[in-house]
């Protein structure tokens, strides 16, 4: 197969034409040249939150439009690919984000890489890795189920607290690395470059279709401000599509380490001057003026990865103490941020035509949870334990 490096397609869209527009943007990006038809094609669906929030996770129309375009072009063997994370429940998320409705409707089976029946084997790199072999000195393990599949990444256009923007390259992070993937956060940019090298080795074809109907600005990938942008991107060059996304958002792609390093290593084209954008003229957009911001949770993590708590990184994130970090993230996003900030933004998004399109999938309901009971209970238990420990400490001091 031939892949055109540095080619990115752009397409303006509307809720009523989006399925056809996805087929158009994929054709402009020459997807049939990038993806052989005689192997299984995996759709790497992104779930960044088990709760629906605009621009956060793959959209149902994004998945459906890609399936329809593939089937029309003669791709018969399709499979959805899901991973989970320590802070996101995929089993819940694929329903709340209406992904499962689409894959069931079009009879596309899904594989769930977090299930126990999947074999993870030690990958032997064909070229030197930047960091993964150092992060995992006992071996870099990847799921055998993905080897030999075409992969189509289905990210959204949004910012990210650790990587400035997140897109096609970051979308491989969950699929190729298991639950200890958080060990790589201190070297996340070089990790994404390593993962692209691995992908180019194990996948016959790689493609990405990026949804910018809603785009996310601020402390992504969850606690963002959403913006309606009505834009679709597609490319067989994972570096180039991320560079175009970064430029649209207002960032210099070559100042984002994972894009620059991948460009320098010849894994794709990251310099906007060398990228050919076909279809819609994105220069009409100008800079969207997005900014990368942190949440309380990400500030704490950065203090561990790069700040004064760095000496404690292994103790805090690679020992039995690690659940505290999962709890902190869950508490912030699911107990505080969504009920008190995000829920209002979701209600506003549902008043738009895209919001109405989202509601039209499945039974028409949109799950908008209040405080997540499980996390609230965990918080109460933690407070009781802390109070008991504190009381015991005071008692010991009084006996001296």
Peptide bond just before 221 cis, omega within 30 deg:
yes
Q: Which domain holds residue 108?
A: 7-298
pLDDT > 90? residue 89: no
Let me know if residue 327 belongs to a domain. Answer: no
pLDDT score for 399: 54
Question: Per-residue pLDDT averaged across 1-12, rounded?
Answer: 87
- Residue range 42-78, pLDDT digits in tens: 999 999 999 999 999 999 999 999 999 999 999 999 9
pLDDT at 373 (0 to 100) = 65
> What is the SS3 assignment for 304?
helix
| DSSP-based three-state secondary structure for 151 | strand
Let me know if residue 329 belongs to a domain: no
Find, among 259, 227, 225, the residue nearest to 241 by Cα: 259
Q: What is the pLDDT of residue 390?
A: 47
Model confidence at 226: pLDDT above 70? yes
Confidence of residue 182 (pLDDT cuts 50, 70, 90): confident
Over residues 365-380, the pLDDT tens digits come to: 999 987 656 656 655 5
d(CA 223, CA 363): 26
**Encoding tokens for residue 367?**
């799950």
Query: What would the pLDDT profile of 322-339 be if each residue is shown by its tens digit?
Result: 555 667 777 788 888 999
Alpha-helix residue ranges (DSSP H) falling in the chain: 18-28, 31-34, 60-72, 90-96, 99-105, 132-135, 172-176, 188-202, 238-249, 257-264, 296-305, 313-317, 323-330, 343-349, 353-359, 373-399
Rounded Cα gap, residues 130 and 257, in angstroms? 13
> How far is the C-alpha of 269 from the C-alpha of 283, rounded, in Å?
18
Asked, for residue 91, whether it belongs to a domain, the answer is yes
**308 Cβ contact partners less than 8 Å away, ≥ 6 residues apart:** none
Round to whole Å and give the CA distance between 63 and 74. 17
Both tokens assigned to 62 = 């994004």
Q: Is the residue at 332 inside a domain? A: no
In a domain, 292, yes or no: yes
Residue 381 confidence class, pLDDT cut points 50, 70, 90: low
Taking the whole predicted model, whether its pTM rises above 0.75 is answered as yes
Count of domains for the chain:
1
Structural domain contains residue 149: yes
- For residue 35, tell me if it sits in a domain: yes
Q: Is residue 389 part of a domain?
A: no
């Amino acid at each position: 197969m031939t892949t055109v490096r540095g080619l990115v397609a752009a397409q303006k869209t509307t809720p009523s034409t989006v399925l056809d527009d996805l087929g158009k943007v994929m054709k402009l990006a020459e997807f049939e040249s990038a993806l052989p038809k005689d192997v299984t094609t995996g759709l790497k669906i992104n779930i960044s939150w088990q709760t629906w929030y605009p621009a956060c996770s793959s959209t149902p129309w994004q998945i459906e439009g890609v399936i329809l375009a593939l089937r029309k072009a003669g791709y018969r063997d399709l499979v959805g690919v899901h991973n989970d994370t320590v802070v996101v429940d995929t089993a819940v998320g694929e329903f709340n984000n209406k992904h499962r409705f689409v894959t069931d409707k079009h009879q596309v089976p899904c594989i769930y890489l977090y299930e126990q029946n999947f074999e993870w084997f030690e990958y032997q790199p064909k070229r030197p890795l930047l960091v993964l072999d150092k992060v995992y000195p006992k071996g870099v393990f990847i799921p055998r189920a993905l080897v030999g599949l075409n992969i189509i990444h289905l990210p959204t256009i949004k910012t990210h607290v650790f990587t400035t923007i997140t897109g096609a390259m970051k979308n491989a992070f969950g699929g190729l690395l298991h639950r200890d993937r958080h060990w790589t956060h201190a070297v996340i940019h070089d990790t994404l470059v390593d993962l692209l090298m691995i992908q180019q080795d194990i996948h016959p074809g790689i493609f990405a279709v990026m949804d910018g109907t809603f785009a996310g600005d601020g402390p992504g990938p969850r606690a963002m401000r959403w913006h309606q942008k009505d834009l679709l991107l597609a490319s067989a060059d994972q570096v180039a599509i991320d560079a175009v996304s970064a430029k649209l958002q207002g960032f210099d792609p070559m100042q984002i380490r994972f894009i620059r390093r991948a460009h320098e290593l010849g894994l794709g084209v990251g310099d906007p001057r060398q990228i050919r954008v076909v279809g819609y003229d994105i220069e009409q957009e100008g800079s969207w003026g997005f900014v990368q911001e942190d949440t309380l949770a990400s500030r704490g993590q950065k203090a561990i990865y790069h700040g004064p708590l760095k000496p404690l990184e292994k103790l805090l994130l690679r020992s039995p103490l690690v659940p505290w970090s999962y709890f902190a993230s869950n508490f912030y996003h699911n107990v505080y941020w969504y009920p008190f900030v995000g829920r209002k933004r979701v209600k506003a998004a549902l008043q738009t035509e895209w919001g109405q399109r989202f509601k039209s999938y499945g039974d028409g309901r949109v799950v908008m949870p209040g405080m997540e009971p499980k996390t609230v209970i965990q918080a109460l238990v933690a407070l009781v334990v802390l109070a008991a420990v504190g009381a015991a400490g005071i008692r010991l001091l009084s006996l001296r």
